[in-house]
Amino acid sequence: MTSIGLGDVGRAAAVLAGTPELRIPEPLSSAKPVISGSARMVSVVHELMVSGRNIDAWISGQPVLEQTAVPLHPSREAHLVRTGDSEWVALRWPTGSVAARSAYQGHLEAVFRTASAASGTPVHAQEQYAVIEGVGSDPWVLAPNLGRTVEDRLRCNEFPAEERHKLLTTLTALRRAMVETGMIWQGFAPRNMFFRDGSLTLIDFEEVVDAAREPARAAECLTWHRIFFADCLTERESLELFQPLAGEPEIPDDTIREADRFERALLGTPSITWARRRELLHVSIVLEGRHQRPSNKRDAGVLFGHELGHFWGDFLSADHEARLFAQMRSVDSSEVLAACLEAFEAAMEADICRTLRQRAYGTEDVSTPRTVAMIDVLEATGPAHLAAHRARQSGWYEGLETDPGQLVDEFLHEAGTAVNGLDRSVLDEYLVGGGDARKTHEESLAQATRIGLDFLHRTEEPFLHHRKPEELRAVLGGPVPLTGSGMDAVLAEVEEVIAHLSVSQSHPDYLAFPDTGNAIASLVGGTVGRLLNQNLIAVDRSAPAATFVEIQVVEWLRELVGYETVPITELRGVRDIAGLWATGGHLSNHIAMLVALGRQFPEVRRSGLMGLNSQPAVVMAGPIAHYSHSDAAFHLGLGWDAVISVGAEGGFTTDPDAVEAALTNPPNGKTPFMVVGVAGNCRTTGVDDLARLAEVCRRHGVWYHVDACHGGSLIFNERLRERYLARIAEADSVSLDPHKGLFTPYPSSYVLFRERGMLGQFSRHSSAVNADGNWDLGLITPFLGSRGFESLATWTILRHVGVRRLGDLVESRQAHVRYLERRIDDNGLFVRFNDVDFYRMAFVFCPPPVRRLLNCLDRELRRRAVQTISRYTSRLNDSLYRAGAVCFDEHTLTDLDNRVGAGADASFTIMAACPGNPLLGRGDLDRALSHLIEGALQLVPSLIADLTEVRDGGRMLTGPASWGDLL
């Protein structure tokens, strides 16, 4: 085992990634820092600045301080500096904070004196430190390493009984002195205290509250103190330390306070009463207290809750912390709570290890992907399920010691795929591919084939059992099926109603699909639909039953999107139809643009575009919008230059401010009539801020279309719909593709409209369209004449699986791509371009040495290096594809977040993973990862060699001849 120091970035990255090492020389200092502080520490700093050493770079290269269970902090750097036998702690503090902390410390001098006199133990602030300014954006503060904090020592039960009693007596006196003087130190926490040599030393005076001036804030701080000590003390000690004191601020319960970010995220209100805030704080005291583990194998069987609370508070966003709190606050079983907290403890340790590894690579990325993923699973399954899953794990503590990331990933994958009781038997009921259900699936397909064959060969029967539209509507109408029916029941309905009432024509089309397309119900529906071969151009002689099946499917989807809906028995005719099936998102988006154009410029129907005074224009984010929208502008005669392309944000989403600007000041001669929002783009499946775009469009009175061809599957899961597609129902039109994310074979797409009557403009026969009882969909369908009974595939999956179970399937699938995301991140050979929203991840082959080398190249050489990286990425992907090992997608993508480091305008050939099949197991994913990593490692030496030639001499990467192909 190779031993490395965290300060040795180059060596750490090389060892962890298995790549050659690129050494970075230590720079010399050209700046003269300003040093102030105690004489002793000023002298220490001068000794460290030997031989012109760059003190800023030198301190940054020292080992990261790992003094507590949470060794990282998003707002500051902390390093351990060793000189001879001495150890020092170096912290980077914000400019001006040293003076502020010093002033706050001065407010507490009387408190320290009172506490010292009352307890007989000296209480004082740390006075030995030096401030180093002028070496960076913020100063360094260097102080002696005081050793283990009171928090660490209390948790480990290091204090002898007499010394522990003395410490608690001193803490009690200090707390009493704060209350008596009215000066409340917010940082009264064991992590800010050191008890040694018979005295109590205190650090970190970030806030001191004058109770006379801010009684409510003082009361909050006094309650927070209980949280800080919650997992360090026994119940008796806690009661002793935090006994009520005369003089504590008494705040009326109905006192209104401004809600903090966490409270706003949790409660959704801008203000909060003191009673409610106190209630939330007391819940935190419980969550962050001492919990009994199911085993004594770790920490003598004690789980320290404040370690987790400290980590969550510092590293989770308020939204994520609120999601976690909302689930955990209601747990009343100590066993369930401890088990859930153990799962989050493992996620915390995995995230810490990941961040340390990222720092070793030279990438500053303090994030919590596994903790957030654990919150997702907790929300999806509930605390009891999460706890039960933890209880079933064996070798838990051993896994934490060896590889917490792998342990948590396996746990998340297993728990995340078991949404609401989903297991192999449930999956096999709905999806083809599980061997255990092969016989059942064969029987279903045989039955479907029999129905189709009976239909095609029913030569002794009429080709049509005619029924009036009123009878058909009564038979085929019904509510959205929230729970599924058995396959036999669904097939019986197909056979006895739909097939019986359909017209028999020719053979079905062949279907190819890029996504899973493996829902048994959709396969049955697609097969039968093709065997029935209904032509949805008209009811009579073409599609008597199929017409109303499609109308019902459209109404179900409109309801799930959030549009107004009615039973199909209340519709009057095609004039009330507010959605259509289409061959794919390409056609759906064409139809949406055509409807928007006709709505905003009704004169175009008769006189065409030439009669307009300005060019109708469409606003969309060029870097992420699907090509179908620009194609539609061209195909509709608007011209490609009718597209007003605005920028995308770093997360590959539309910039609402840029849309606002384009609508406010459009180019001369152009009149914007439509804005395209994206709910899951085709490159990264990033989801736009749909609510903000809706507000912008409403202000400017333009048509708002949401392309949800990828993200539309999220409407089936209430939680995911609310999280990603909030206010999608404010869009004027929505396109969604069941063949992309709903396990349905191609072709299957729908375009839906908020208002009814929008499709009537496509017919020259307005009187027929507006007549009650006219159900011929061909009158309102643009671009298509005859078309097949493709909507049956969507109808059967809804009837069989039901909305709720479909939502479970959609959510369970996310565990696969998030597993790949974390494992690829941990490997380090690749740079991920996007943070996965729901099922697609883009990445490029770029080991750590390559990233560092890019920083050494000028703009032109960096451009050529990007081409080389792209070429190697494609080469890797092609080798895997040709070997039949694993197939990833491949396309070009601009690195908007500049994650590679070649610039936010650099465009790469990237690989993309989009595992859409819920039947995938972790073994399948691990096998794909193994092939990927093995192939990448084989290419690392030649990639670095090619790039090193560029760095050392500016020579062509593979010779001048090859550059002609790349430029």
Q: pLDDT tens digit string along 136-175?
A: 678 888 999 988 999 999 999 999 999 999 999 999 999 9
Q: Are residues 265 and 402 in the same domain?
A: yes
Q: Which residue is listed with tokens 């919590």?
A: 368
Residue 858 amino acid letter = D
Measured between alpha carbons, how far is residue 897 from residues 173, 831, 844, 862 in Å? Answer: 52, 11, 13, 17
Inside any domain, residue 14: no
For residue 809, pLDDT over 70 is answered with: yes
Q: Which residue is listed with tokens 């909507």?
A: 791
Q: Which residue is listed with tokens 């990833």?
A: 888
Determine the pLDDT at residue 658. 95
Q: Taken in order 768, 771, 776, 781, is the CA torsion positive or negative? A: positive
User: What is the CB-side half-sphere exposure of residue 391 using CA atoms within 13 A?
Assistant: 12
DSSP 494: I
% of the chain exceeding 90 in pLDDT: 59
Continuous H helices in 828-915: 848-854, 859-883
Q: Are residues 397 and 443 in the same domain?
A: no
Determine the pLDDT at residue 227. 96
Q: Are residues 543 and 607 in the same domain?
A: no
Total domains in the chain come to 4
Determine the pLDDT at residue 961. 24
Determine the pLDDT at residue 17. 37
Inside any domain, residue 36: no
pTM of the model: 0.74
Determine the pLDDT at residue 676. 97
Inside any domain, residue 816: no
Q: What is the CATH number of the domain that holds 684?
A: 3.40.640.10
Asked if 386 and 415 count as a contact pair (C-beta separation under 8 A), the reply is yes
For residue 504, pLDDT over 70 is answered with: no
Indicate left, alpha or beta for 432 from its phi (over 0: left) and psi (-120 to 50: alpha): beta
Determine the pLDDT at residue 950. 61
For residue 20, pLDDT over 50 is answered with: no
Determine the pLDDT at residue 50. 74
For residue 507, pLDDT over 80 is answered with: no
Q: Are residues 347 and 489 in the same domain?
A: no
Query: 374: closest CA among 315, 293, 296, 332?
Result: 315
SS3 141: strand
For residue 68, pLDDT over 50 is answered with: no
Tell me which of 158-162, 482-486, 682-686 is least confident: 682-686
Domain boundary among 757, 777, 809: 809
Neighbour count for residue 96 (Cβ, 10 Å):
10
Q: What is the CATH number of the domain that holds 911?
A: 3.90.1150.10
Q: Are residues 302 and 339 in the same domain?
A: yes
Inside any domain, residue 62: no
Q: Taken in order 712, 713, 718, 721, is the CA torsion positive or negative? A: negative
Q: Are residues 603 and 659 in the same domain?
A: yes
Q: Are residues 545 and 494 in the same domain?
A: yes
For residue 222, pLDDT over 70 is answered with: yes
Inside any domain, residue 556: yes
Domain carrying residue 711:
595-736
Sorted by sequence, the CB contacts under 8 Å of residue 617 that are 6+ apart come out as: 638, 642, 643, 644, 666, 667, 670, 671, 672, 673
For residue 856, pLDDT over 90 is answered with: no
Determine the pLDDT at residue 7. 36
Q: Are residues 553 and 641 in the same domain?
A: no
Q: Are residues 451 and 342 in the same domain?
A: no
Q: Are residues 599 and 532 in the same domain?
A: no
Q: Please write down the long-range contacts of 919-926, taking CB distance under 8 Å and 24 or more positions apart.
A: 919/427, 919/431, 919/433, 919/434, 919/518, 920/816, 922/410, 922/413, 922/414, 922/819, 925/413, 925/816, 925/819, 925/820, 925/823, 926/823
Inside any domain, residue 448: yes
Asked if 751 and 592 count as a contact pair (C-beta separation under 8 A), the reply is yes
Bond preceding residue 747 cis, omega within 30 of 0: yes
Determine the pLDDT at residue 528. 84
Determine the pLDDT at residue 24. 41
Backbone angles phi, psi at 31, to 5 degrees: -95, 150
Inside any domain, residue 754: no
Inside any domain, residue 91: no
Determine the pLDDT at residue 457. 66
Q: Are residues 472 and 388 in the same domain?
A: no
Q: pLDDT tens digit string along 417-453?
A: 888 888 888 889 888 777 788 889 889 888 988 887 6
Q: Are residues 892 and 932 in the same domain?
A: yes
Determine the pLDDT at residue 510. 22
Q: pLDDT tens digit string along 723-781?
A: 999 999 999 999 999 989 898 877 999 999 999 999 988 777 888 888 999 999 999 89
Query: 423: closest CA among 808, 3, 33?
Result: 808
Q: How far apart are alpha carbons 715 and 708 in whole angstroms?
A: 10
Q: pLDDT tens digit string along 579-608?
A: 999 999 999 999 999 999 999 998 988 888
DSSP 28: B
Q: How far apart are alpha carbons 206 and 93 in whole angstroms?
A: 11
SS3 776: coil
Structure tokens of 965? Answer: 């192909």
Domain boundary among 736, 754, 780: 736
Domain boundary among 368, 391, 416: 416
Q: Determine the angle formed by the axes of helices 97-107 and 109-119, rounding to 10 degrees.
A: 50
DSSP 745: P
Residue 590 amino acid letter = H
pLDDT band at 376 (very low <50, low <70, confident <90, very high): very high
